[in-house]
């Protein structure tokens, strides 16, 4: 009997742990952590303090986890009515609002402590700014209009900048270049997701698509224009000596391939075309960032 009770307790504990893990949105948080590591690695020019880099990754992961946790607390009633979010821990009752709040505070405090100890004050301050922008400004703006995408693109593009500052202690033109690439990337990335999930988003009153909020030719043009900007932006690291020719070639190929996906959306306006752009955005950023790193380190 005791063995059965112990097994039941263990199962409940593991189920709870899994729910907390889901609350962190680990794939998104790992992408944030990777982008921070990218910025740090690029700024280090091969001279890497592995302890600092490891703690930066942990701190960035926890900061992102805290931010998305707060987002889910604020949007808990909206998450219940959208198909893509109704199975999250809070809507399903696997995690209570009070538990999620306590968990987000712990993650936030741990991330700030880690970044304070292992990086520098500017990294900490900008990390807090990133969290506030995402959780308390971008989140409510999603029901106001497409301005939310612009606001959300700022914390979305800060991770490589934070990594650079963690290494150098300051903001340089090189840091702004890698920030700019990720900032512009956010727009086709966000809008492709919003196009695919538009019906679901409308249930919650989210207004993320540009040009009147429709899945139409005007939105497709906006996606195309921002994607096109990535081609010349991808050449700037080589132009300013941050990286070399090899990564410039890779960035150009990826940029052209990403841009080419938008023609199908312009022509058909289909969900399939939008999904291709969405998945293309998931591939573009890590491939280009890895190419930049390999070309420099």
Cβ contact 274:265 at 8 Å: yes
CA distance 84 to 88: 9
Average pLDDT, the chain: 92
What is the pLDDT, as a whole number, of residue 295? 86
What is the pLDDT, as a whole number, of residue 12? 78
Please say whether the dihedral angle defined by the alpha carbons of residues 144, 148, 150 and 151, taken in this order, is positive or negative: positive
What is the pLDDT, as a whole number, of residue 148? 94
SS3 of the chain: CHHHHHHHHHHHHHHHHHHHHHHCCHHHHHHHHHHHHHHHHHHHCCCCCHHHHHHHHHHHHHHHHHHHHHHHHHCHHHHCCCCCCCCCCCCCCCCCHHHHHHHHHHHHHHHHHHHHHHCCHHHHHHHHHHHHHHHHHHHHHCCCCCHHHHHHHHHHHHHHHHHHHHHHCCCCHHHHHHHHHHHHHHHHHHHHHHHHCHHHHHHHCCCCCCHHHCCCHHHHHHHHHHHHHHHHHCCHHHHCCCCCHHHHHHHHHHHHHHHHHHHHHHHHCCHHHHHHHHHHHHHHHHHHHHHHHHHHC
What is the pLDDT, as a whole number, of residue 38? 95
Mean pLDDT calculated for residue range 124-130: 96
Q: Specify the fold of 18-171.
A: Tetracycline Repressor; domain 2 (1.10.357)
Looking up tokens 């809008």 gives: 191
Among 207, 226, 205, 202, which residue's Cα sits nearest to residue 277?
226
Looking up tokens 């966000």 gives: 190
Higher pLDDT residue, 7 or 120? 120
Q: How confident is the model at residue 1 (pLDDT cuts 50, 70, 90)?
A: low
Domain ranges of the chain: 18-171, 173-297
Q: Is the pLDDT of residue 3 over 60?
A: no
Mean pLDDT calculated for residue range 228-235: 96
Q: Is the pLDDT of residue 35 over 80?
A: yes
Token representation of residue 54: 């490891």
How many residues are given for the chain?
Answer: 297
Among 231, 263, 143, which residue's Cα sits nearest to residue 194?
143
Mean pLDDT calculated for residue range 89-111: 96
- What's this model's pTM, rounded to 2 decimal places? 0.92
Mean pLDDT calculated for residue range 234-257: 94
């Amino acid at each position: 009997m005791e063995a059965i009770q112990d097994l039941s307790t263990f199962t409940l504990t593991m189920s709870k742990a899994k729910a907390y893990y889901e609350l962190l949105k680990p794939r998104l948080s790992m992408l944030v952590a990777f982008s921070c590591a990218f910025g740090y690695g690029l700024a280090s020019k091969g001279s890497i303090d592995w302890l600092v880099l490891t703690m930066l990754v942990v701190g960035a992961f926890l900061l992102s986890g805290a931010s998305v946790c707060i987002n889910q607390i604020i949007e808990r009633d909206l998450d219940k009515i959208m198909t893509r979010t109704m199975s999250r821990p809070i809507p399903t009752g696997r995690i209570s609002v009070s538990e999620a709040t306590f968990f987000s505070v712990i993650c936030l405090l741990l991330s700030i402590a880690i970044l304070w100890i292992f990086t520098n004050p500017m990294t900490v301050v900008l990390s807090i700014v990133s969290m506030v922008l995402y959780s308390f400004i971008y989140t409510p703006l999603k029901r106001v209009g497409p301005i939310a995408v612009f606001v959300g693109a700022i914390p979305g593009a800060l991770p490589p900048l934070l990594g650079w500052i963690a290494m150098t202690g300051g903001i340089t033109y090189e840091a702004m270049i890698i920030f700019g690439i990720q900032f512009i990337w956010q727009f086709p990335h966000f809008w492709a997701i919003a196009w695919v999930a538009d019906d679901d988003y409308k249930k919650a009153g989210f207004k993320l698509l540009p040009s009147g909020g429709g899945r139409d030719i005007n939105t497709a043009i906006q996606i195309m224009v921002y994607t096109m900007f990535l081609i010349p932006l991808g050449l700037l690291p080589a132009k300013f000596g941050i990286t070399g020719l090899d990564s410039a070639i890779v960035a150009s190929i990826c940029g052209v391939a990403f841009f080419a996906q938008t023609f199908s959306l312009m022509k058909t306006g289909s969900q399939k075309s939008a999904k291709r752009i969405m998945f293309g955005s998931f591939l573009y950023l890590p491939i280009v960032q890895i190419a930049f790193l390999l070309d420099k380190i």
